Structure 1
Amino acid sequence: MDENRALDRENGDEEMVEVSQIRRAITNNEEPGSEIIFIERVFEQKPVPTWREQLTVRAFVVSFFLSILFSIIVMKLNLTTGVIPSLNVSAGLLGFFFVKTWTTALERTGLLRQPFTRQENTVIQTCTVAAYDIAFSGGFASYLLGMSEIAANQSTEANTPADIKNPALGWIIGFLFLVSFLGLFALVALRKIMVIDYKLIYPSGTATAHLINGFHTPEGSEIAKKQVKTLGKYFLFSFLWGFFKWFYTAEDSCGFQAFPTLGLKAYDNSFYFDFSTTYMGVGMICPYIVNASMLIGAIISWGIMWPLIGNREGSWYPRGLKSNDLHGLEGYKVFIAIALILGDGLYNFVKVVARTLPSLISTLRSKINLKTLPIQDNNNTDTSIATSYDDEQRTKYFLKDQIPKSVAIAGYIVLAIISIIVLPHIFHPLKWYYILVIYITAPVLGFCNAYGAGLTDWSLASTYGKLFIFIIGAWAGSNGGVLAGLAACGVMMSIVTTSCDLMQDFRTGYMTLSSPKAMFISQVIGTGMGCIIAPCVFWLFYKAFKDIGIPGSQYPAPYAIIYRNIAILGVDGFSSLPKNCLVLCYITFAAAVLINLARDLAPKKIARFIPIPMAMAIPFYLGAYFTIDMCVGSLILFIWECIDKTKAKIFGPAVASGLICGEGLWSLPQSILALAKVNPPICMRFLSRKDNSRVDTFLST
């Protein structure tokens, strides 16, 4: 008896050691096999549910509510700075928590019929991410809002009715339903080639799979509970902090977001800490180099360039122009930011294509895929037993439930035909033959983007979208070319984004033994949810806050005017730019290319300190304030890692997610209060000593 107990205890200890190894690999984002870990051995005794069993009602109910939550958060981030961190960890963690709580309660009452599996967790993750991704790829803060009168009024060019289409809930939902599903059918037939034959890693998808696998191990479940508790604590703090700040914002320039923490002069140049827990959380999630790059960009632009150019008023541009006139300082801000973005985007586009094509060609020429995989070390063809066993099991289940190619091809053709017929009725300048060209080229560009993302985790969807702004805008000409270009951008971005996301989800499903059919169906359902949820969330913001898209407001939507001006450039050329602006754009464009080149050529020890041009470009137009918040978040995480790196790595994302979700969710009651005409009671404003004396004198008279 004692001997059996000792044996059981020994077996239990061995299992916990194995689980600890798995958890360590998951925490470090290592590939299975790096420590000879039999990941699928841990789950060997658990039967793999069929694809129908993976698609549960509770999974989609949880996905629906999580989609609303994350759509609100993404929409707020989109309309403020456009900086959106990966929320996959939060989605996976909350999905696990809610369903685990649900099943535990049912189990105690004896009503549980189906246990919670990692495959069901993957379905929740896939559905939720597909839904809230529409809040980004739908262009609510970029090309869609760029079509509006709000964006057009900030420019003196292309503001005729032919180039304007104001948001309306009906046509936005219809447009999203027309274009969002095409990407799902564009590449689904290539899932085996991308995931198994080419063995593309899709780093984010792989990391998500590690996370989900870790949740469903005994030790992983306990850690997940602690992470959820931490997330909930900081969620509540962030929500209440947002509520507290609201009381002091009776006017736009009131409250903590107008706190001149670095002095009044710095505040005038947008350098201040506005006590935003959202962007502190974003700063904790984003890599240090991203936050540092944005701070450097803020210093270069708002600390040096704009004050110097402002001193040239009357020489480089006329005096007395409105602050949003593109013939004045605003033009330099917008077009120099565009040049930096395009320089970075073009460089990375060329780099990804240059990296993708040779490996793709060599793979296609070879009949034995394993020897010519673009990411495999050809000098080391030995594979570990663990990797072989895991791959064997994963390949077996990945190929079990097939999605017929005929369904994919027919689905794409049917949806394309419907779109070609209907879209010109939504956007009159967007002719049917423009759309036909887009749909012919979209699968090719979608494949390039998905392949590149599989290698580098870098999606260039927005770059492809900007490319088609130029192409279709120039093709359409001055009569509606701006609107046509922006609409074409939306069509292309939606297809390329969703096709890339689907391949990433297939990779996650491959590593969790989830059925590709279940992944595809959950992606379709999630996309359908997003096509309704995201426009409704946007409409709530749009109706509640009348200054959306206005520079300097609470929701400036900086990319709306940037996308519109890219379209104007495509139609009108460079003749509308203020003096010396084009020269500065050339210099900035070249600088973006050279900085990227330096990052790629420098040794890793040096390259990690070289800023990222795309991140530098964001504060060029928007301002420096949010970079201060994000750097504070980075500083908190850095200090935490110095004190306890293990806890910071495990609980840091949970703290950051709680900070983001709490204040993000506060946007919902804040919007409802605004719609109900309930205004904050207090205005907290800061004045200089001189202005304060004047106010005191005035009040005393």
Structure 2
Amino acid sequence: MADTGSRRRGDRAGYVDDVGSVDKGGPFAVEEEEESVEKIFAAQEVPSWKGQLTFRAFAVSLMLSIAFTFIVMKLNLTTGIIPSLNVAAGLLGFFLIKTWTAVFAKLGIFPFTRQENTVIQTCVVAASGIAFSGGFGSYLFGMSERVASQSNTSDAKDFKNPSLSWMIGFLFLVSFVGLLSVVPLRKIMIVDFKLTYPSGTATAYLINSFHTPQGAKLAKKQVRVLGKYFSFSFLWAFFKWFFAASDGCGFENFPSLGLQAFANRFYFDFSATYVGVGMICPYIINVSVLVGGILSWGVMWPLIGKKKGIWYPDGSDDMHRLQGYKVFISIAMILGDGLYNFIKVLSITIVALYKQIRSKDSVLPVASDASPESAAQNFDDQRRTHVFLKDQIPTWFAISGYVAIAAVSTGTLPQIFPQLKWYYVLVVYVMAPPLAFCNAYGCGLTDWSLASTYGKLAIFIVGAWAGQGHGGVLAGLAACGVMMNIVSTASDLTQDFKTGYLTLASPRAMFVSQAIGTAMGCVISPCVFWVFYNAFDNLGSPDSEYPAPYAALYRSIARLGVEGFSSLPSHCLTLCYIFFAAAIVINGIRDLVGKKWARFIPIPMAMAIPFYIGSYFAIDMCVGSLILFVWTKTNKAKAEAFAPAVASGMICGEGIWSLPSSVLALAKISPPICMKFLSSAVNQKVDTFLAG
């Protein structure tokens, strides 16, 4: 959920790298229920925590994890906008297990329960989540020579190229410790404070609905719709491949709005993926991205381009030329937005904690307008609390595990990154637990995770501490990875505890499932990234199919932390101040005017995304929004029921095509046709040249 400093937790299975929640819950949005949920399932026996961890659950989880990792990785390396795939993960997990049980029913296989469904959901989102928190589209790839060479600066030789061995080792060292940091506080946050965790709650309602007779019928219809649009998207991507023989060819470079607009990155590129993303993302996100593209590529860059030779030297584009304005102004908006949301969420967290500590019977601010608990809710809460407290995870296990992993990491990470001294790592591990708690608590109140903001904080602290002459750029990026993984997985696990609480899944089963999913992700994600890295030689290039925009942005943030403002081109600092302040002011106005009017004010973090890579994907997303808008106006009930499935199918189909396309690229099999578009004047010159 585009890395812009904070992200909604609605994108747990999808990570709108800080663009905002895209998971509205669809047809499964959380609503007040008059009828007791647990009375519906009262006749069903709750399996033991070991009974919830079945072989078939992890077999299905592995299949889905591989598929979703390819999808997330493709999105990560194109724009960084990764929508929630919770609906797709839930539907496919339900469908595959139902198929499994139908096939083996005669063998007396035990039935598929909502607890097992929760285990699958947890495992899949944990595994595919590593594709985001592992930094393959941000800090980790930002260490590579491909990204470093774009800057043409003194730090260009300060790089570490990807390798399967060190990437897998690094992820295993940093991805598990976050799971242990909040385990001792799970009862306080879920039972005592009754934090809402909107995304975890929406996922639980989704799973609960699947296991009612009416919900099962709807789920089967949704699976059919998802499959239909998956097939369409996959075949469309296959068809487009034939016309993309080289860079600049194919439907991805179709000047649908004219050649001048195409030169300024305004065109519809026929991407089923981002049409689907647009159907899932809130309207304001899509409009904000488009507004950002118009402001940057339609107004600012053409005007700054006229200052070539005055503000910046002529020559190939790098960080001291026009490219520097694109990157650093975008970063200014990201940091301004991130700072505002950091202070906002932290303030909400501190105030809520203060009120909660003063009066244990007080109600949290987010629930101040809640109605008194009904008898049905009391019954549900009592049963859920009983199950939640039944299988304890020993506090000594969590604390000793954290200390042990931190000790191993402190000694081992400097072997992977010599620039990252052991005392830098130790400081990060000391800082991480309170930050992880703040993030998990704030996430429960606001549904916002500030994992990437904490990561950027680590970049600045460690980068400045190490300094330019001692590999500060690499040290900062590596420290970002340590901090981001700890804080992100901590809030992820707490969300899982909330989902498990509402589906009667054992917290011990949730912890084991998250750990197994994390282990899967630590292997699957580097392998998938390695396929992309070796298949596409231009991976990370701004004009390629996979520009990985946030890799360059994270590296530039690290440079800024190490070198200070001396790395900026002329007048860039002034523009950065303006856009940094504008991001804070716009966010403040959005909060002051209230939800009614805020939906008409663009979100700065979403506006910053196209500053670097252009608006082509924003056109796709707005087309998706338009489709959803028309569908909702004509048949609201059907749109709410099936739009998430349609969008997920479109995203997944083209995302899965990245696997065979990568294999074809590795086999040196190129598309047979180059479809390119020229102006009439250029075409006439080409014809004259060919005619001899």
TM-score normalised according to structure 2 size: 0.95
Q: Which residue of 2 aligns with 1:122?
A: 118
> Aligned partners of 2:164 and 2:384: how far apart in 1?
43
Question: How big is the shift at 1:606?
Answer: 1.0
CA distance in 2, matches of 1:370, 1:184: 29
The answer to whether the 8 Å contact 2:337/2:604 transfers is yes
Q: Structure 1, residues 76-121: CA drift from partner, whole Å, max 9, x if none?
A: 00000000001111111100000011111222xx113210000000
Mapped pair 1:615 → 2:606: yes
Deviations 1:140-191 (A, max 9, x none): 1110111111111111334354x21111010000000000000000101111
Among candidates 136, 143, 149, match of residue 145 of structure 2? 149
Matched, 1:362 2:362: no
* 1:249 corresponds to 2:248: no
User: Residue 265 of structure 1: CA displacement?
Assistant: 0.1
Counterpart residue number, 1:301: 296
Deviation at 1:220, TM superposition (A): 0.3
1:27 CA drift (Å): 2.8
Q: Check whether the contact 1:187–1:446 (CA below 8 A) recurs between aligned residues.
A: yes
Shift of 1:695: 1.4
> Residue 302 and residue 129 in structure 1: after superposition, are their counterparts in 2 closer, same or farther (change >3 A)?
same
**1:322 corresponds to which letter in structure 2?**
S
1:19-54 CA distance string (max 9 Å, x none)? xxxxxx9835234xx241211111011111111110
Query: 1:322 aligns to what?
Result: 316
For residue 318 of structure 1, report the CA deviation from its aligned partner: 1.1
Q: 2:181 and 2:370 mapped to 1: Cα distance?
A: 35
The equivalent residue for 1:519 is 510
Aligned to 1:40: 38
Give the structure 2 partner of residue 80 of structure 1. 78
Match of 1:545 in 2: 536
Alignment of 1:3-82 (within 5 A): 27=27, 29-31=29-31, 34-82=32-80
Q: Which amino acid aligns with 2:78?
A: T
**Alpha-carbon distance in 2 for matches of 1:128, 1:381:** 35
The equivalent residue for 1:438 is 428
Contact 1:158 1:482 in 2 (8 A): no
Rounded Cα–Cα distance in structure 1 between residues aligned with 2:456 and 2:252? 32
For 2:612, the aligned partner's letter is Y
Equivalence for 2:255: 260
Matches within 5 A, 1:131-280: 131-159=127-155, 161=157, 163-280=158-275
Q: Which residue of 2 aligns with 1:421?
A: 411
Q: C-alpha distance in 2, partners of 1:70/1:607? A: 33
Distance in 2 separating the partners of 1:119 and 1:381: 28
Tell me by how many angstroms 1:374 deviates: 4.0
Write the letter of the residue equivalent to 2:35.
I
Shift of 1:604: 2.2
1:676 to 667, 677, 680: 667
The answer as to 2:577 corresponding to 1:582 is: no
Gaps of 5+ in 2: 1-24
Counterpart residue identity of residue 53, structure 1: G
- 2:184 maps to a residue whose letter is A
Identify the residue that residue 381 of structure 2 maps to in structure 1: 391
Taking the aligned partners of 2:604 and 2:441, their CA distance within structure 1 comes to 23
* 2: CA distance, partners of 1:376 / 1:674: 53
Amino acid at match of 1:689: S
Q: Distance in 1 between matches of 2:596 and 2:50?
A: 49
Check the 8 A contact 1:29/1:207 in 2, yes or no: yes
Query: What is the CA–CA distance in structure 2 between the aligned matches of 1:299 and 1:370, rounded to whole Å?
Result: 50
| Offset at residue 375 of structure 1 (A) | 3.1
Of 122-131 and 34-43, the range deviating more from structure 2: 34-43
Question: What is the distance in 1 between the residues matched to 2:335 and 2:120?
Answer: 35
CA apart distance, 1:229: 0.2
Other structure's SS at 2:689 match: helix
Deviation at 1:603, TM superposition (A): 3.1
Which has the higher Rg, Structure 1 or Structure 2?
1
Q: Which amino acid aligns with 1:276?
A: S
**Distance in 1, Cα, partners of 2:307 & 2:35:** 64
Which position in structure 2 is the counterpart of 1:346? 339
1:552 Cα shift? 0.8
**Contact 2:53/2:119, CA 8 A, preserved across alignment:** yes
1:331 corresponds, among 310, 324, 328, to 324
Q: Please tell me whether residue 463 in structure 1 is matched to residue 458 in structure 2.
A: no
Equivalent in the alignment of 1:412: 402
Equivalent-residue separation in structure 2 for 1:342 and 1:601 (angstroms): 21
- Aligned-residue RMSD, C-alpha: 1.3
2:19 matched residue in structure 1: none
Matches within 5 A, 1:642-653: 642-653=633-644
Q: CA offsets per residue over residues 674-696 of structure 1, 9 Å max, x none?
A: 00010100000001111111111
CA distance in 1, matches of 2:396, 2:594: 48
Q: Deviations over 1:540-560 (max 9, x none)?
A: 000000111111101000011
Amino acid at match of 1:622: I
Distance 1:380 1:295 in 2: 37
Query: Residues 402-458 of structure 1, C-alpha deviation per residue, up to 9 Å, x if partnerless?
Result: 000000001100000000010000000111111111001101111111111111111
1:106 maps onto 2:104 in alignment: yes
Secondary structure of the residue that 1:371 maps to in structure 2? coil
